[in-house]
Structure 1
Amino acid sequence: MALAQESPDAQLPGLMCHTVGGYRLSDVRVVAAFDVDAAKVGRPLAEAFTAPSVSATKFTQLGIDRDSPVLPAPLLDGLDGPLGTLVETSAAALETTSESVAKALVDHEVHVLVITLPTGASQAIRMFAQAAIAAGVTVVNATPEKLARDEDLRRRFADAGAVLLGDDLRSHVGATSLHTTLIELLISRGLVPTSTYQLNVGGNTDFLNLADASRSASKFDSKANALRAAGLTDVAGAAGPTGYIGHLADTKVCFANIKATSVLGSELEIDVKLTVEDSPNAAGVIANAVRAGQTAVDRGLSGSVDDASALLFKSPPHGLPESEARASFLNFAS
């Protein structure tokens, strides 16, 4: 969201939509953040960005948002697994409740809450969803946790007049987008995929957390959902995080392979490697998702909004092939 400090008329590289529902990125403000890290809680946003656990590059100076507070969140299961050895828990987080989070959302006049908690932190993620319902706040679920795909939660958001977008935010040009685009290309040419894999390694705290099999299960499910939406059925395959390599820091490396049967029974194989800086690769998608969430509210929508979700998330309630999802979102954004 720091990109919101750029000129309102700037055409930013990698930002798919200059406006969504009439909103420019300069219309978005970060008014508060929540965390459990003792190095972040109680500090302004600009200082929290330099905490030891943050490996992302500092691309731009914060402007009006630099002094926004980092508030405590309930710990729950947020630091279960390897993250518990890396992050010191704030004392305030041990005393914070869902009710206090809901109150903070109201007090800080939050319109859209982006949930970016560690994969597998089911209790903590659902706590934020409950707090958002209580506060009538729209949610962008960037995690693989099943929120937008939960029929009861969708109904409760609708009853609260709030929008729920998710699940599992895609990167702008990431492993899933690359993989599904290649699959769609092959299928559109009449080829029949026979096997595929997508293996991802990285060195940030996300990959450290995903190195624990008990935390990464929902990520593998989400990746599988994305492949099915791209048209893969009954095909031998695997996709998901496969390793933590500390010295890679915020670099993510994807190895993807697809084999398919082509004309006259001939065989085709695609073998690609994608290397990206992981954290900023999500920034443009979050920028679209936040503006889409507010646009949906402006239009009197509530609950899950399919037209805004299929392109932005790996595991939306109703997945679509890449080209159809893009057309659907651009039509919604206009």
Structure 2
Amino acid sequence: MEKIKIAVIGLGNCASSLIQGIHYYNDKKSEDAIGLMHWDIGGYKPSDIEVVAAFDIDERKVGKDVSEAIFAKPNCTTVFCPEIPEMGVKVSMGKVLDGVASHMSKYDDDYTFIISDEEESDIVSILKESGAEILINYLPVGSQKATEFYAQCALDAGIAYINSMPVFIVSNPEWAKKFEEKGIPAVGDDIKAQIGATITHRTLANLFRERGVKLERTYQLNTGGNTDFLNMLNRDRLDSKKESKTEAVQSVLAERLDDPNIHIGPSDYVPWQKDNKLCFLRMEGKTFGDVPMNIELRLSVEDSPNSAGCVIDAVRCCKLALERGIGGQLTSISAYTMKHPPEQFKDEKAYEMVNEFIEGKRER
């Protein structure tokens, strides 16, 4: 089969994990392909994905081959596939806009971004010339203007768009209409992990509901040491992130919690944790006879590989949509892989919907 040609915005830890995974699974078979939710989607395996364009703003990555850039500082995720062949794809200088928080300049170079002085590239021309079919957005949290800019680039280039971060594009009716009118598939917003803080919290919240336990209060506190957590020390950049994570949990509750009784969001930056994310979760409720109970959970995951499996599924479902001439919001894969999709469904329902979409029994 022909390769699925993708372009990537932001060669950080998440992009590194995705690209490592594309090569890692190249010599695997379905029976030993650990960590994938779907081995085959419409005949496409993970190794059928090819990066044909990439954009970043860090001087240690711009101008480098993608195979080299994904291991450059400040990336700190686990290297599980170190032997990446040279791709012949150079990282182009992107557009900065609000993609870099001002407070990050106060930190050591190994932990933060160093903005390149290269001239900004003509993004749309590069996308068209590269033959990219899908653009994946991996910008930092809070990059509202930059995310909107790249979404427009996808529209102008006529290629599909996967929004992996919490600026609301695919779930925004105005933006969704633009993709619908152009017949371009879009998946978003804000990527879930395979087994991460949000999916775990949702699963437990759903368990409370199904077992007749009244949830009264809950919190989810997270710490990490990658650039994402450093970026999020600026609380002004967190509005959409908190909304995305909170709504993902609220949507599965029998009764929505009042704002004071639910707190979900990033908590602090711990440099030595690197790409390891710790989640501290507490849920308090009432069981039979109004008897109190609570759950406390500590989850430790490598943050970026944890999301790559979801993106690999999103890419292949986007390709199926392109082949089938389907444009606009892809409801099923968005609900399955994103925290803030256009429409929320329980996770088991979303899984069922995705399988129906893959089999051609569901349009979106």
Q: Does 2:325 align with 1:300?
A: yes
Distance 1:82 1:69 in 2: 29
Match 1:2 to one of 3, 15, 20: 20
Letter in 1 for 2:296: D
Corresponding position: 1:190 with 2:212: yes
Kindly indicate whether the alpha-carbon contact (under 8 Å) linking 1:230 and 1:322 is maintained by their aligned counterparts in 2: no
Contact 1:170 1:177 in 2 (8 A): yes
The number of residue pairs the alignment matches comes to 330
Which residue of 67, 70, 76 maps to 2:97? 76
Q: Which of 291, 314, 321 does residue 266 from structure 1 map onto?
A: 291
Distance in 1 separating the partners of 2:307 and 2:134: 17
Q: 1:214 aligns with which of 236, 243, 249?
A: 236
C-alpha distance after superposition, 1:24-69 (max 9, x if no partner): 1121111121100011000001221232211112111454564322
Q: Which one of 241, 245, 252 corresponds to residue 266 of structure 2?
A: 241
Q: Is the 8 A contact 1:310 1:325 kept in 2?
A: yes
1:118: how far off? 0.4
**Aligned residues of 1:8 and 1:26 also touching (Cα < 8 A):** no
Q: Distance in 2 between matches of 1:65 and 1:7?
A: 18
**Match of 1:253, SS?**
strand
Cα-Cα RMSD: 1.5
The Cα shift of 1:9 comes to: 2.9
Per mean C-alpha deviation after superposition, the further-off stretch among 168-177 and 148-157 is 148-157
Q: Which runs of 5+ in 1 are unaligned?
A: none
Amino acid at match of 2:142: G
Render the CA deviation track for 1:237-288: whole Å, top value 9, x for unaligned.
Answer: 1111010011111110000111121112122211100001111111111111
Pairwise CA distance, 1:332:
1.9
Query: Equivalents in 1 of 2:114, 2:257: separation in Å?
Result: 45
Query: Which residue of 315, 322, 328 corresponds with 2:347?
Result: 322
| Cα-to-partner distance string for 1:201-238 (whole Å, 9 max, x where unaligned) | 00100000011101122110111110122225035111
Moved beyond 6 Å, runs of 4+: none
Distance 1:83 1:323 in 2: 39
Residue in 2 that maps onto 1:91: 117
Q: Relative to 1, partners in 2 of residues 1:65 and 1:318: Cα closer, same or farther, differing over 3 Å?
A: farther
Equivalent residue number for residue 6 of structure 2: none
Q: Give the TM-score taking structure 1 as reference length.
A: 0.94
Using structure 2 for the length normalisation, give the TM-score: 0.87
Asked whether the 8 Å contact 1:83–1:208 carries over to 2, the reply is yes
Identity %: 32
